[in-house]
Amino acid sequence: MDEIKIYDYKKMDLRDAVVVEGFPSVGLVSTIVANYIVTVLNLDLLGVMDSPFFPTVSVIRGGEPFSPVRFYGGDIEPGRRDSKKIVVFLSEFQPPSTLIKGITTTLLDWAQDNRCAYLISPEGLIVERPEGLEVKEKLLFAIGSTEHVKETIQANGIPIFQEGLISGIPGVLLNEGKRRNFDVFCILSETHENLPDARAAARIIEVMNALIPEMGLDPAPLYKEASVLEEKMKEYQKMSKPGGKRTTTPLPSMYG
């Protein structure tokens, strides 16, 4: 799409690289996953995606300006000479529906031009349950754009998402990946609708470790963040009940 372009700041040989899409999703799952990978693997800023239709803002981090949509890359196994590469796209805003097809087309064009191996799209999944019902194990599924992806998912013992709708960038990536015969994995982790969900993100990291054995990222810090937030939420709910004390304790910050 002519209105959406990718600009490289730094060149890197990305043949057979894994691409991770981190545009905001339900529970900020994709954002948390993407930021965690960038931070833990200490990936380099490689470039930006830009458009006249993107928000006219500069994101300031550590005294340095950044575009709202950018991508990072580097070694999956830092320090290893023949390490596979990984690229992570990050966005500070959730694109409107009018931009989604243009973004996905530009992203897949770029991935194919750089001869990347496949793309992973992490996504939150809302599951309707009776109010107050607690479950020990939240749901996790995956779905792919090609038969090869489907076989890989099944080989790793991950349940296939059988029926439903996947909207936004992940949905269009699956459709466009199927049309192009390009491998796209969409990993769906059950999440909260209105809260950052590091636990759902941690479960996706575990699946990615299975799909990319060289990566071996430790999800423990994400589980720890999730436990802290969940305890704070229980405290908040308790204080919010009639007769409960009000609390001004802020919720902890999350990745993303």
pLDDT in tens, 10-57: 999 999 999 999 999 888 999 999 999 999 999 999 999 999 999 999
Q: Where are the domains of the chain?
A: 5-127+135-240
Whether residue 187 contacts residue 207, with contact meaning beta carbons closer than 8 Å, is answered with yes
Instruction: Please tell me whether residue 73 adopts helix, strand or coil conformation.
Output: strand
195 exposed, middle or buried (CB, 10 Å; 0-12, 13-18, 19+)?
middle
Residues forming a β-bridge with 75:
85
- Indicate whether 241 pLDDT > 80: no
For 8, 38, 114, 214, 215, the CA distances from 80, given in Å and listed in that order, are 24, 17, 21, 11, 12
36 exposed, middle or buried (CB, 10 Å; 0-12, 13-18, 19+)?
buried
CA-CA distance, 193 to 32, in Å (whole number)?
A: 15
Angle CA(239)–CA(193)–CA(219) in degrees, nearest 5?
90
The sign of the CA dihedral 93, 96, 102, 107 is positive
Confidence at residue 195, expressed as pLDDT on a 0 to 100 scale: 80
Q: Which CATH superfamily is domain 5-127+135-240 in?
A: PAC-like subunit (3.40.50.10900)
pLDDT in tens, 114-168: 999 999 999 999 887 666 656 667 899 999 999 999 999 999 999 999 999 999 9
Whether residue 36 contacts residue 217, with contact meaning beta carbons closer than 8 Å, is answered with yes
Structure tokens at 242: 């009639």
Angle CA(215)–CA(100)–CA(127) in degrees, nearest 5?
65
Confidence at residue 247, expressed as pLDDT on a 0 to 100 scale: 42
Whether residue 129 contacts residue 138, with contact meaning beta carbons closer than 8 Å, is answered with no
Structure tokens at 245: 């004390």
In percent, the amount of the chain with pLDDT more than 90 equals 75
Structure tokens at 169: 């960038």
